[in-house]
Structure formats: structure tokens, C-alpha cells
């Protein structure tokens, strides 16, 4: 096949509503991941998004076990689990990455034990792990849009607070900022973003959406404000390019997006001063 | 003169240990008070409790006549009247924050507000503050690229970007060489006069305390002495706060 025929095939492919939904879903997920990711990496919570991703599998498996619709259990479970992790991080005197590793492995182990005992759910495990952005429904898009709006409003209204909390927590408390409350709001939003994104990207790769665009933006930015918005935009653009690449090369969509994110990151690493 | 800060019977625990015990004092408007004492005496614990960063076990704290609640809450208006500079301003050097952005955070009142709120007024205040500390030329620099002396000047701009009543400094010149430390104090006292700041500062430099401060608090878990430096920093009080070895050394060296 020539490149021209490939291009025609890709253009034809984007005439289908499921591909259009995939692009919109990718932009929404990429933007949200990048926006919250900018704060996540600076607060050294990168593994937190990973642990949340793995907890989602546990949430789904518990939903199946209890006879509930798994995806309806996912979001509330992610929020409760996220707050639980935040509480443990505050209360235990252990390294953050070590504690998150314990939680991560335990959640995954428990989820696999539950799922392996449920014959009916074995077939869908692959989809959960790797995601399927082409299976995004209109209802998912509405949910992502509402969540993106919440994230943008949250960041736009509390950006100055978030900056000081991220830079120096005692100075933020001295200025009257309730840092625990801000951290809680942030974790709830992050848990929701990870939960909503799992359907499209899958459990294994969801943390890449939070971490890679933010790291790229960090390399290119010379101020905090530019960094935050740059991270969100890189997240969104990588998603679009990744979906086009997946259609062109016939690759799975989630991994294609992550490879595009990585390519942009390498470019930033090579070009930044 | 009115009391800017009034502390009564303050006790603060670190884990199961009382780091600060039954401390009472007050700060009068426009004065400069130093907290002195050996390492581990509870000086940083005391100032962190005054700001609500650490919870207290007992006692009352009033700042500008407003009580600091047990949960560390204080009215937003009073919060904006206080500036705090921690001992060694340690931050993650990978955070891409510019000098302008840091000083602007000193101006903000941190209510829930749109990120572009009063941008023009804010920028004007930042420009004035940076100009006063002779750091306007640093405005676009990332704070991680600043030298120790430049960072202290920028932090002073963070304090003066909005009118304040009370400055709480936890060993503010820590990490500076002698020349930069002297330049820092020169600027601080120039600004204090200009802004009519009341200052509460932790210091290890008893010479500086004698030269500049109106009042001194000697702390070693409890308050061992307080008063004007020349009256309070007696051999007997220094022995009580620091132990006999330090006090004898200090006396023999004529510091």
C-alpha cells in the first residue's frame, strides 16, 4: 500500500462517529491529565496516579463480586481509595514511593484474586488493562467534558493557592491556606480523572497521561503559569497525534498516544537548556 | 503602644515531648524582638505555633487583637498583615517559578478567585516591591538561579509587596556569608523604619540582638528571660538558657 492510500484510509476512518468520539475523548483526557499532572509531579505524587489506576481494577472486581455494574463502582471507589491513600501518607512515617508501592501491589494482587475467581469477567480483563478509546460512548464524553470543566475551574480559581502550597507548605499555612483541604480537593479530582480515563487508556498506561506531558512541559517552561497550561496543551495535542498515528499504522490507540507523548518528551529533553 | 502579638501560657508538643512550655510574652507595635536560645530549645516550634503551622497543647495567642483558634485559624484580614520567612527557604529546585511569580504570591490574599484577578494592581505592587530591594532586574529569573543574597532580597520583596504589621523571621540570614548578612540586616532595618514593621526574629547572633533589637526572649523549652537585650542577656540568664559552657565561652570571648 502507498502512503496516499493509507492517508485516504485514515481520512475515511475519521468519518466514523466512533473515531470522532475517540479524538474528542483523547483531547479531553489528555488535557485533564496534563493539567492535573503538572501539580502531581511537583508534589511527588506520580506513583499516586499509578496506585489509583491499579485500585480501579480492585474497584471493578469488587463491583463484579457484589453484582453491581462495574463502571458505576469505579469512580466512587477511586475517590474513596485516593482519600484513603492520602490519609495513610499523612499518618505513616514512610517514604511516599515505598508506601505507594505497597498499596499498588496489594490492590493489584487482590483484584486479580477476585477476578480470577469470577469466570464471567475473564474476557474483559484485557480491555481494562489496556483500555479501548474506540469504545468511548457519547455518555463517556459528557462525563469527561463535565470533569474537564471542573478541573479547569478548580485550577483557575485556586491557581495562586496551589502555587504556594506546591512551593512551600509552611509558608502557605502561615498565609491562611488550608493546605489539607486543598490537597483533598486535588486528590478527589485526580482520582476522578484517573477513573474516567481508564476506559480509554487502560490501567497500565493511565499514569503516563498524568506524568509524561507534565515532565515535557517542565523542560520547556520558564514560569509556573506557562508550565501548567503548557502541560495541559501537550497532553491534548499528543492524544490527537497519537490517535491519528494509531489509525495510520494500525496500532492500539492508548499505547500510540503514550509513544507520541514520549517522542515529544525526548524532543524537549534534547532541545531544552 | 498597642500589642501586635500577645501570647499567654503557650505549650506546644513535638510528639510526646513539650518543646515549648508555658510561654507568655507580648510584642509592642514597631518593636524588634529576638528569640534566642540553643539548638533544640523550641524557637522554631514557638514561631510555627504562633502562625498555626503547628498545633498548640495549651495557651492563647492573639494577633492584632484577633485570637488564633486551636485549629490554627485566623481572620483573612489579619493573615495578610503577617509575613513569615522560614529558616532556610528550602524548595524543590525543579519547580519553575520566577521571581515575579514568587513576589506576587506575597500580594495575594488567597481567597477563591479567578487567576487573572486584579492583575494590573498586583503587577504594580510587585514592581514597586522589587524596585525597593533593588531586584527589579531579576524579575524574569527562576528563583532556583538566584544567589543566597539575591534570594533574601526577593523574600524581603515578598514581605513588603503588601503593607504588613508583623514580620516573623526564622533565622532569616541563615546561609549567608558575613558581608551578605550585613547587607541583609541593613536592608531589613531600612525597610522596618520605612514600613513600621513589628519584627519577631529567631537569631543566634547575640551581637546583632544587642545592636538592633528592642527586646529579647531567651528560650530553652520555657522562657528563661525577657526584656531589653542589655538587661536580659546577663551571664546568669545566658547560663540558664544555654548552659554554663557556652555562657563562659561567650563571656571570655567578649562577644
pLDDT digits (tens, 9 = 90+) for A186-216: 999 999 999 888 878 888 888 999 999 999 9
Look up cell 507548605; give the residue. Answer: A169
Please say whether the dihedral angle defined by the alpha carbons of residues A35, A39, A42 and A46, taken in this order, is positive or negative: negative
Burial (CB < 10 A; 0-12, 13-18, 19+), residue B113, is middle
By Cβ distance, the residue of B48, B98, B110 closest to A161 is: B110
Q: Which three cell numbers stand for residue B77?
A: 484580614
CB contact under 8 A, B79 and A176: yes
Q: Which three cell numbers stand for residue A183?
A: 490537597
CB contact under 8 A, B96 and A158: no
How much is the pLDDT for A90?
A: 80
By Cβ distance, the residue of A155, A160, A225 closest to B108 is: A160
By Cβ distance, the residue of A157, A167, A174 closest to B95 is: A167
Q: Which three cell numbers stand for residue A186?
A: 486535588
Cα separation, A108 vs B238, whole angstroms: 60
A157 contact residues in B (CB cutoff 8 A): 112-115
CB contact under 8 A, B105 and A157: no
How much is the pLDDT for B139?
A: 94
pLDDT at B66 over 90: yes
CA distance A168 to chain B (A): 6
Q: Which three cell numbers stand for residue B45?
A: 516550634
Of all residues in chain B, the one with the smallest CA distance to A162 is B110
Per DSSP, the three-state class of A61 is helix
Q: Would the pTM count as exceeding 0.80?
A: yes
Instruction: Choose between B145 and B193: higher pLDDT.
Output: B145
Cα separation, A257 vs A268, whole angstroms: 17
By Cβ distance, the residue of B51, B94, B113 closest to A174 is: B51
Residue range B210-235: average pLDDT? 89
Which parts of chain A register pLDDT below 70?
1, 119-125
A177 contact residues in B (CB cutoff 8 A): 110
Task: Quote the crossing angle between the two packed helices B235-242 and B244-252, to the nearest 10°.
Answer: 140
Which of the four pLDDT bands, split at 50, 70 and 90, describes residue B249?
low
How much is the pLDDT for B255?
A: 45
Query: ipTM for the complex?
Result: 0.87
A162 contact residues in B (CB cutoff 8 A): none
pLDDT one-digit tens code per residue, A154-198: 999 999 999 999 999 999 999 999 998 998 999 999 999 998 888
Amino acid at each position: 500500500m502507498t502512503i496516499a492510500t493509507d492517508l485516504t484510509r485514515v481520512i475515511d476512518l475519521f468519518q466514523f462517529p466512533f473515531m470522532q468520539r475517540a479524538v474528542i475523548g483523547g483531547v479531553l483526557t489528555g488535557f485533564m491529565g496534563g493539567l492535573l499532572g503538572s501539580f502531581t509531579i511537583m508534589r511527588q505524587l506520580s506513583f499516586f496516579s499509578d496506585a489509583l489506576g491499579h485500585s480501579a481494577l480492585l474497584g471493578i472486581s469488587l463491583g463484579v463480586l457484589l453484582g453491581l455494574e462495574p463502571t458505576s463502582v469505579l469512580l466512587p471507589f477511586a475517590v474513596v481509595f485516593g482519600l484513603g491513600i492520602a490519609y495513610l501518607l499523612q499518618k505513616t512515617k514512610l517514604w511516599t514511593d515505598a508506601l505507594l508501592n505497597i498499596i499498588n501491589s496489594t490492590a493489584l494482587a487482590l483484584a486479580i484474586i477476585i477476578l480470577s475467581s469470577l469466570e464471567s469477567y475473564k474476557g474483559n480483563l484485557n480491555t481494562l488493562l489496556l483500555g479501548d478509546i474506540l469504545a468511548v460512548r457519547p455518555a463517556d464524553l459528557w462525563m469527561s467534558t463535565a470533569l474537564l470543566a471542573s478541573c479547569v475551574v478548580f485550577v483557575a480559581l485556586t491557581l495562586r493557592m496551589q502555587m504556594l502550597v506546591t512551593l512551600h507548605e509552611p509558608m502557605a499555612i502561615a498565609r491562611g491556606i488550608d493546605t489539607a483541604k486543598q490537597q483533598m480537593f486535588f486528590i478527589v479530582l485526580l482520582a476522578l480523572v484517573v477513573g474516567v480515563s481508564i476506559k480509554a487508556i487502560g490501567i497500565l498506561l493511565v499514569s503516563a497521561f498524568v506524568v509524561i506531558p507534565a515532565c515535557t512541559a517542565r523542560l520547556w517552561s520558564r514560569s509556573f503559569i506557562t508550565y501548567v497550561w503548557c502541560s495541559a496543551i501537550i497532553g491534548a495535542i499528543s492524544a490527537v497525534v497519537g490517535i491519528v498515528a494509531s489509525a495510520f499504522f494500525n496500532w492500539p490507540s492508548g499505547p500510540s498516544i503514550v509513544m507520541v507523548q514520549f517522542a515529544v518528551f525526548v524532543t524537549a529533553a534534547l532541545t531544552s537548556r | 503602644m498597642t500589642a501586635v502579638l500577645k501570647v499567654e501560657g503557650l505549650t506546644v508538643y513535638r510528639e510526646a515531648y513539650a518543646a515549648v512550655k508555658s510561654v507568655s510574652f507580648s510584642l509592642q507595635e514597631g518593636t524588634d524582638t529576638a528569640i534566642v536560645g540553643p539548638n533544640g530549645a523550641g524557637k522554631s516550634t514557638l514561631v510555627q505555633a504562633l502562625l498555626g503551622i503547628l498545633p498548640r497543647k495549651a495557651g492563647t495567642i492573639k494577633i492584632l487583637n484577633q485570637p488564633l483558634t486551636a485549629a490554627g485559624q485566623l481572620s483573612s484580614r489579619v493573615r495578610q498583615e503577617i509575613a513569615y520567612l522560614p529558616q532556610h527557604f528550602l524548595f524543590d529546585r525543579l519547580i519553575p517559578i520566577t521571581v515575579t511569580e514568587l513576589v506576587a504570591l506575597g500580594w495575594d490574599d488567597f481567597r477563591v478567585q479567578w487567576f487573572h484577578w486584579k492583575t494590573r494592581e498586583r503587577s504594580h505592587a510587585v514592581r514597586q516591591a522589587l524596585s525597593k530591594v533593588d531586584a527589579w532586574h531579576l524579575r524574569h529569573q527562576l528563583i532556583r538561579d538566584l544567589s543566597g543574597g539575591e534570594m533574601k532580597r526577593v523574600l524581603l520583596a515578598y514581605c513588603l509587596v503588601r503593607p504588613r504589621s508583623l514580620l516573623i523571621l526564622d533565622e532569616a540570614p541563615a546561609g549567608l556569608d558575613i558581608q551578605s548578612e550585613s547587607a541583609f540586616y541593613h536592608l531589613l532595618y531600612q525597610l522596618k523604619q520605612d514600613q513600621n514593621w513589628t519584627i519577631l526574629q529567631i537569631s543566634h547572633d547575640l551581637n546583632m540582638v544587642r545592636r538592633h533589637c528592642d527586646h529579647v526572649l531567651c528560650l530553652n523549652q520555657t522562657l528563661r528571660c525577657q526584656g531589653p537585650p542589655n538587661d536580659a542577656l546577663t551571664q546568669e540568664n545566658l547560663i540558664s538558657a544555654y548552659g554554663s559552657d557556652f555562657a563562659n565561652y561567650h563571656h571570655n570571648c567578649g562577644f
